[in-house]
Structure formats: structure tokens, C-alpha cells
Amino acid sequence: MKSLFWRRFKKNRLAVLGGVVVLFLFAAAVFAPIITPYDPNAINVKHILEAPGIEHPFGTDDLGRDILSRIIYGSRISLSVGFVAVGISTIIGIILGAISGYYGGWIDRVLMRFVDIMLSIPTFFLLLAVIAFLEPGIWNIMVVIGLTSWMGISRLVRAEVLSAREREFVLAARAIGAGDLRIIFNHILPNSMAPVLVSAVLGVAGAILVESALSFLGIGVQPPTASWGNILTAGKDNIEIAWWLSVFPGLAILVTVLAYNLLGEGVRDSIDPRLKV
């Protein structure tokens, strides 16, 4: 099964490219203190709004800080938010979806109506409303994004559990006296995680976009901590005289989100049973 997955995945050049970019971004985030040419928060009044050049390949901002260094450190924030937020949403979605799909009846109806209510609320405006009552910060952003983005995963898990709960291996587990929790977590979920994995990979891209948007609006990660969103805010204020402040962080967001989407699509195509020969 694994060898078949890797054979299919390697044939998808765009997915492989996405995976390489994701690994590159992860390495840049981990080794940021080593590879950054400057301190991302170091102010230098002699190099304010300096255009890209040999000394500063991506230019400097309105405080003379090196944009390349800030983008590299900003990748730490973006990837941290993506992974933690998706982790929270995945755990919530798996638990609620598994309970709903396995027990059915009034439990399923109540949980799915709650999911419908959450889906009817525009997620971004819900985020704005919640964060308005909290102190802006990276941990609050992670938790809030995770708590407002689990609904899709819960529906995926519910559908998989509904399909799996009547299969032979589940009936056999019941026949030997296995409890509900053991059946759900030891038998059903391990055989239902493929779509969840795809959704999680794609969810990282969505979380990065949301974090960047919140930071751009000034209610996300706060300066002087480098985030792609708050770098774009400085670019907005100086767009007529310093195009590099908008272009380079914008490209970082574009490339990262595109890479995760390509990787997610490639994983989905590689594990989709309908594509097996």
C-alpha cells in the first residue's frame, strides 16, 4: 500500500514540487537563526526604505530592518500557526465526527445541527469577533483558528465512520466484546484517516492565509515580531515608494499556500481508491 502510494505520488510532478517547497520552508524556519543575514528586529536608520541590493537582497523597511531576515523569521510564525491550528481543529473534528458517525440517532442529529450552525457563521467574521475580546498574540491566534475550523473535518470523519461501522472487522470486534472506544480508535479511525490527512495538509494553507490576514489588519501577531501579514502592513503604508515591502512577503504567502495546496492535492490523488488499478 505504501509503495503504491509513493509510486503514484512521485509521478505527480507538481505534488513533488509542492513537497520540496514545504520541506524548504520548514528547514528555513528551523534554521532561521543560522541563515538570516541580520537580526530581524534590528533598527538601522542609515538604511531606511533601501531598495533591494547586494547588502539587502529584499530591501529594508521604514525602520531599516532587513526584509529577507524578517520574511525568514516570519515563516516560523506562519508554519507554527498552521500546524498548531490544524492540529487543534483535526483533534476536535475527529472526536466529534467519530462520535456522531458511530452512535448515530439523536447524538448524530444534535452534533450535525451544531456543525450546520457553525458553518452558517462566516468564519473570518467569527474570528474577528472572538479576537476582539482577547489580547492579540500568536497563541490566541492559533487557538481561535483551530476552534473555528474543525467543521469540515468532522463531516469527513462522520462519513468515513458511517461507512466503516458496519464492515466485517467492526462486527468481528463487537463479537469478541470490544468496547465502543476501542472499536472507534483501534479499528475504525485507523482505516478512515486518508481524507483527514488530505484535509489537514490543505488546512495548513488556509490557517496561514487567515493568520496573515489578521496580522495585516493589526489584530494578529503584533510588532516587532516578524509576520508576513504585518510586513505587508508596512508595505501598504509605503507602497508608492517601496514596492518590495509588498511584493516579497506577498510572494512568500503565495508560494507557501500554493505549495501546500499542490502537496495536498497530490496526496489526495495518490490515496484515492478510485485511482487504483
List, for the chain, all residue ranges whose pLDDT scores fall below the cut of 70: 1-2, 272-277
Three-state secondary-structure class, residue 185 = helix
Question: Is residue 263 a contact partner of residue 11, using CB atoms and an 8 Å limit?
Answer: no
Distance from C-alpha of 154 to C-alpha of 95, rounded to nearest angstrom: 8
Output the pLDDT for position 10: 81
Q: What's residue 1's pLDDT?
A: 53
Compute the distance between CA of residue 59 and CA of residue 53 in angstroms, rounded to an integer: 7
Bridge partners for 165 per DSSP: none
Question: How many Cβ atoms are within 10 Å of 273's Cβ, its own excluded?
Answer: 6
Report the alpha-carbon distance of residue 254 to residue 209 in Å, rounded. 9
Domains of the chain: 2-275 (1.10.3720.10)
Q: What angle do CA 12, 16, 17 make, to 5 degrees?
A: 115
**HEC-encoded secondary structure of 121-160:** CCHHHHHHHHHHCCCCCHHHHHHHHHHCCCHHHHHHHHHH
pTM: 0.85
Can you give the pLDDT at residue 272? 65
State the cell numbers at 33. 537563526
Question: What pLDDT digit, counting tens, does each position of 90-128 carry?
Answer: 999 999 999 998 888 888 899 999 998 888 887 777 777
| Grid cell for residue 120 | 452558517
**Residue 268 CB coordination number (10 Å):** 18
